[in-house]
Amino acid sequence: MSGVKCTNSKHKLKISAALMAVLLSMTGCGSTKYDMPYSTTDSVSSFQLLNVANKETVEPFAADLCVAAKDVPASGISMPDVGAAALFDTKSLDTLYAKNVHNQMNPASLTKVMTALVALKYGSPDDVYEASENVKITESGAVLCGLKPGDKMTLDQALHILLMYSANDVAILIAEGVSGGSVDDFVTMMNEEAAKIGATNCHFLNPNGLTQEGHYVTAYDLYLIFQEALQYKLFNEIIQTSSYNTVYMDANGADKPLEIENTNLYLRGAYEMPSNVTVVGGKTGTTSAAGHCLILLSRSSSGTPYISVILKDDSREKLYGDMTALLEIAK
């Protein structure tokens, strides 16, 4: 089976001296790095800039990324009821399977990977955040930690609860804490950071993924976001933790103990891992609009890393069955 391989570092894109001059004139500095968002269609994106006659080169944006410009089938894999799915070999940069990876879809709590990425970039694990009135979420079925106005916890604690338990009130706490008090400002940061890493086909309106018209992402953009988050040691540690106990404080300084389990049922042993890989960790997401969603980091016995994602599956049981089948094609 042959996958689709991304551009690698040996394939640099040539641009003309004239185009280079235009780029340099934008800042007057020849050492500035230009991050051109990834696009499979835009003729001036880093992926699509093609050779014109000169020896000046720039590194393509997708040099170290898997690329899937269209669906990539795989023998034995059929997912007619899944909204989108993909499997990426992040060592060889092969796309082993891709279905609807550029379709804009509701991500549910997979949104929280982007929330964590922004928090890890702009916050410090020891920062202490205080809950405002905005942590009161009344949407039916929303997973909550039970934060009350005035409660305090560190960013480290909040990220564990966000990524493992998927608490929507904690997403608000993080957003206001990192941004200096404004959820809207934090959402702006989410969209700006997404664009910087090439995730230009998504749009965030909140930090928790609760259903909102105009809040969407693609399976491919989720791969880019997840891949970037994996660059942070704390993110890696959290997503592979099966259970977590902590104590935070209420408004009066009294202890509030909390014990949670990871929503990733592979880690809890509720579903058997594929025989050919070990599931390291990931993020789950479920709403009525988004269906059942899951993104994972897995490794083969030889250490080869894979990122897999499924969006809008019909049920929890089917989600894990489809994910297992997808991972079983890993080399």
The secondary structure of residue 309, as a DSSP letter, is E
User: Which residue in 60, 70, 91 sits closest to 4, CA to CA?
Assistant: 70
Burial 215-253 (b: 16+ CB within 10 A, else e): bbbbbbbbbbbbbbbbebebbeebbbbeebebebeeeee
CA-to-CA distance for 157 and 102, rounded, in angstroms? 34
Q: Are 224 and 39 in contact (CB under 8 A)?
A: no
DSSP string, 214-265: T-BB-HHHHHHHHHHHTTSHHHHHHHT-SEEEEEEE-TTS-EEEEEEE-S-T
CA-to-CA distance for 88 and 68, rounded, in angstroms? 9
Catalytic choice (39, 45, 99, 112): 112
CA-to-CA distance for 79 and 312, rounded, in angstroms? 11
Catalytic choice (39, 45, 46, 109): 109
Q: Are 248 and 157 in contact (CB under 8 A)?
A: yes
Mark whether 166 is an active-site residue: yes
- Regarding beta strands 277-287 and 291-300, do their DSSP bridges make them parallel or antiparallel, or are they unpaired? antiparallel
CA-to-CA distance for 203 and 212, rounded, in angstroms? 11
Q: Are 60 and 300 in contact (CB under 8 A)?
A: no
Integer angstrom CA distances of residue 32 from 18, 29, 43, 58, 254:
17, 6, 21, 12, 50
Mark whether 2 is an active-site residue: no
Mark whether 92 is an active-site residue: no
Catalytic choice (39, 45, 46, 166): 166
Give Cα 102 to chain centroid, integer Å: 14
Length of the chain (residues): 331
Q: Just list the catalytic residues.
A: 109, 112, 166
